A and B are shown apart, each in its own frame.
Chain A
Amino acid sequence: MLEIKNLHVKLEEEDKQILKGVNLQVGPGEVHAIMGPNGSGKSTTSYVLSGRDGYEVTEGEVLLDDENILELEPEERAAAGLFLAFQYPVEIPGVSNMTFLRTAVNAQRKARDEEELSATDFLKLVRAKAKSLKIDADMLKRPVNMGFSGGEKKRNEILQMAMLEPKLCILDETDSGLDVDAMKLVSEGVNALRDGKRSFVVITHYQRLLDHIKPDVVHIMYDGRIVKTGGPDLALEVENNGYADILAEVENA
């Protein structure tokens, strides 16, 4: 599904290397967690995968179903099945959430030569999906993310994910700013999308999200590389002992 090979990335504006050879393979239906201290390159990885400006790939490639996506525009990556749930969802005054969702769904359908959803079909679909995320009609009518609480923003990200049905979902610190109830709601939304084929990369600082979204594989990122890979136990180890032990072990190796 996703294959990141020896990815090197620097900031476009300054001579600062952020990713220094990331390797990662995510198979169909798998859930991978990437953990790591601040500044290790987790969010940069998610931005580079989604095609955000400001980064320069100096080496390596990223394959999504064997296609190198680094040459694609962000919208083409989305149409190819990649979805990034933002750490800080963007507010868009003047565009209703509903318009935003319909435009996105239909743009992707168009890109894949599928017929656009009729207004009625779309409405039915969005109402059903919104309901399970406890997103009410008012939140759908309001401008995108405007005046949403932290939890509402994250739920709105998951709603978009549910509507767009991507192949690969990247969740960038989706747990940040969430209380326990909101985290549960978001996790249920994510778990509902697990169908054995769809893959997930979950970026997080904390183990607690992984109590709800159970990963198959856990990676530790540090200084622009994945320095350790293990099973779900690795996340528990981080939770109990912090990163210090793991990093010391890596540096001594």
Chain B
Amino acid sequence: MKRSELKQRKLDATQARVLDVQMPDGASWAKSLREDALSRLLTMGLPAARDEYWRWTRPDTLISAEVPKAATFSADEAPLFSSIDRLKVVFVDGVFDADASDDLSGENLEIMRLSDALATDIHWVRDAYGVQEKKAQVPVERPMATFNTAFATDGIVLRATGKVSRPVSLIYLHQDDSSEAILHHVIRVEEGAEVTVLENGPAAARFNKVMEVDVADGAAFHHVRAQGRDHERRAVTHLFATVGSEATFKSFTMTANGVLTRNEAFIDIIGDDSVAHIAGAAMGDGDFHHDDTVFITHDAERCESRQVFKKVLRNGAKGVFQGKILVKEGAQKTDGYQISQGLLLDDDSQFLAKPELEIYADDVACSHGSTVGAIDEEALFYLRSRGVTTPEATDLLVIAFLAEAIEEIESPEIVEDVLHRFEGWLQRRRS
């Protein structure tokens, strides 16, 4: 089939797909932003298997009209972050649950539902909704995010004006086995402000989420998320961030389970002397499929970026990493680091990686590495020779493999909690 025919087929499919999707109500300015997103979507088309960045992750079940069913799962342990003093914002199958949520207010914090914000006229939201998503379509199209901008039903808008003491915790509950959730969060961390956002839960049978974060000069944004234990769930998420000067952006994601997860991140460093770290630790079993697609742009001097992605795969599970560091002309003294590693616990599992560097400045230090391997037999024997049983020694080495990613979490309390989850996951699978 010719290229043009393929493209036409893609556009036809996109047209057919969006036909029945209702565009949520809102103020006219919001409506026009959504209409703009829809028209952009109809020009680029939804992802197809032949697209360069979708070769390793099949998009069909993410874009099908019918939502593939996903059984809900009730865990016997308290969800992650339960012990942390936080401001809870609860969504059930993508619908805001006011009763289960805390009062949406806090010191140095403006926070409200996206659906409310888009129905009124909040100046900064008007200048932010879908803006980073739109900008991030070059050089690689991210149509699932554009779809989200057009059709997101809810989310939060959050503005931190100083140091926010309690983390804002977004909790995504899943109760309906064929639900679809489309959430869009808009976050602005003002100059010198600081906020931590936590996310956890499976959200829905199929989840499409966008988070746009604007970290102003001297501000700090911390983000930790856990993607839920419902194994049959599907998720496509986009994290867009703009990082100002002397600012800090840190994001960590843990994933254990999920037949399809595609996490895209697009981080634009535009101010000098700032730091952007993004990390992920994933553990998967059987038909687990996990994809991290990351794009970091350095467009300022003396900035540091780190991408640390680790995946433990067993029993036929599949991991994908596509990561890029782009250093623009003039972004001197850039310190860029990227590591992606797959640990395969058997011969059936698979880790696919595409690390990329694109550098247009001449005074930078960038390193990247990608490895795939099995448990280190030497280390395993060493542990066993000290009396540690094979399953226990294996688990210890698996956790050790993830350490570099988990260490990116700032809070020791959350580190402990995350480690505990991974240990539990491994223990449940001991033969």
Contacts and interface: CB of A to CB of B under 8 A. Distances in A.
Interface of A: 50-53, 73-75, 77-79, 83-84, 86, 89-95, 99-100, 103-104, 107-108, 111, 143, 160, 164
Contacts of A89: 382
Given A95-B400, A103-B396, A107-B392, A164 B387 contact: yes
Given A94-B400, A103-B396, A75 B382 contact: no
Given A53-B377, A92-B382, A95-B396, 7 more contacts: A75-B387, A75-B389, A75-B393, A78-B384, A86-B382, A90-B382, A100-B386
B29 interface: no
State the main secondary structure of chain B at its contact with A.
helix
12 contacts: A53-B377, A74-B381, A74-B384, A75-B393, A77-B385, A78-B387, A86-B382, A92-B376, A92-B382, A94-B400, A104-B383, A104-B388
B384 A75 contact: yes
Contacts of B401: 94
B404 interface: yes
A90 B387 contact: no
Interface residues of B, number: 24
A53 B386 contact: no
Contacts of A95: 396-397, 399-400
A152 to B, nearest CB: 16
Nearest to B392: A107
Nearest to B388: A107
Interface in B216-262: none
Interface in B366-406: 376-379, 381-390, 392-393, 396-397, 399-404
A79 B396 CA distance: 19
A99 B392 CA distance: 12
B399 A94 contact: yes
Contacts of A52: 381, 385
A52 B377 CA distance: 10
Given A53-B377, A92-B379, A78 B385 contact: yes
Nearest to A108: B387
Given A93-B400, A94-B400, A94-B401, A78 B386 contact: yes
B371 to A, nearest CB: 12
